[in-house]
Amino acid sequence: MKQKTDSTDNSGHNAPSSASLHKVSDIVVFSGSAHRGLTDEICNNLGITVSPSDTTRFSNDCLQVQLLANCRQRDVYIVQPLVIPTQDHLMELLLMVDAARGASAASITAVIPHYAYARSDKKDSSRISIGGKLVADMLATAGVSRVVTMTLHAPQVHGFFSVPVDHLTAIGEIAEHYRAQDLSNAVVVSPDLGNAKTASQFATLLGLPVAAGSKQRKADDKVVIDAIVGDVAGKRAIVLDDVIATGGSIIELMDRLEIEGVTEASVACTHGLFAGKAVERLRNHPMITEVVTTNTVPEPEDWPELQVRSIAPLFAEAIARIHAGESVSSLFDGVDPGFAPPQPKLPL
> Active-site residue numbers?
215
User: Judging by DSSP bridges, how do beta strands 288-294 and 264-272 pair with one another?
Assistant: parallel
Indicate the SS3 state at residue 137: helix
Q: How far apart are CA 208 and CA 184, in angstroms?
A: 9
Q: Give 264-325 as a DSSP string.
A: EEEEEEEEE---TTHHHHHHT-TTEEEEEEESSSPPPTT-TT-EEE--HHHHHHHHHHHHHT
Q: Is the peptide bond before 85 cis (omega within 30 degrees of 0)?
A: yes
* N-to-C CA span, the chain: 60
Which residue, 6, 291, 338, 294, is CA-closest to 155?
338
